[in-house]
Amino acid sequence: MKILFIGESWHIHMIHSKGFDSFTSSKYEEGADYLLSCLRQGNIDVDYMPAHIVQTRFPHTAEALACYDAIVISDIGSNTFLLQNRTFYNMDIIPDALQLIADYVAEGGGLLMIGGYLSFTGIEA
């Protein structure tokens, strides 16, 4: 079995105020380690695509998704799929990633959506 696991990563940008002075710091984190480890221990072949990679590397064809038995989407907002870099910055028209996923499922592909802070209704809903 081969799975495409998408999401469970984030960048944090913090502002630290110490009286008059302030500074910023940033860090990157992933929350998929435990689940990825369990899947791999179960002899499941997993390709992991952190949330920020979706904007540049999500497959743009049904054929590219067809190599997976299932897609797992975990804690990632729909805008990441819909407003990929080529669309947002260059105004290029590219295939609708969510429609590609819907078509993939309609053709028999598996889909698991794991809810999180940015899932389903979105952060601004």
Q: pTM for the full model?
A: 0.85
- Report, as an integer, the average pLDDT of 18-28: 96
Residue 122: is its pLDDT beyond 70?
no
Handedness of CA 30, 34, 37, 38 (dihedral sign): negative
pLDDT band at 124 (very low <50, low <70, confident <90, very high): low
Out of 7-16, 34-43, 82-91, least confident range: 82-91
Tell me how many domains the chain contains: 1
**13: alpha, beta or left? (left if phi > 0; alpha if psi -120 to 50):** beta
Residue 46: is its pLDDT beyond 70?
yes
CATH number at residue 68: 3.40.50.880
Arithmetic mean of pLDDT over the chain:
92
Length of the chain: 125
Residue 125 domain-assigned (yes or no): no
Residue 65 domain-assigned (yes or no): yes
Residue 118: is its pLDDT beyond 60?
no
Intra-chain end-to-end CA distance of the chain, in Å: 35
| Structural domain for 16, as ranges | 2-114
| Spatial contact of 95 and 102, defined as CB atoms under 8 Å apart | no
pLDDT score for 115: 79
Q: Specify the residue for token string 């819909």.
A: 82
Residue 124 domain-assigned (yes or no): no
Residue 28 domain-assigned (yes or no): yes
- Report, as an integer, the average pLDDT of 109-121: 79
Residue 121: is its pLDDT beyond 70?
no
Distant-in-sequence, close-in-space partners of 112: CB < 8 Å, separation ≥ 6: 70, 71, 72, 73
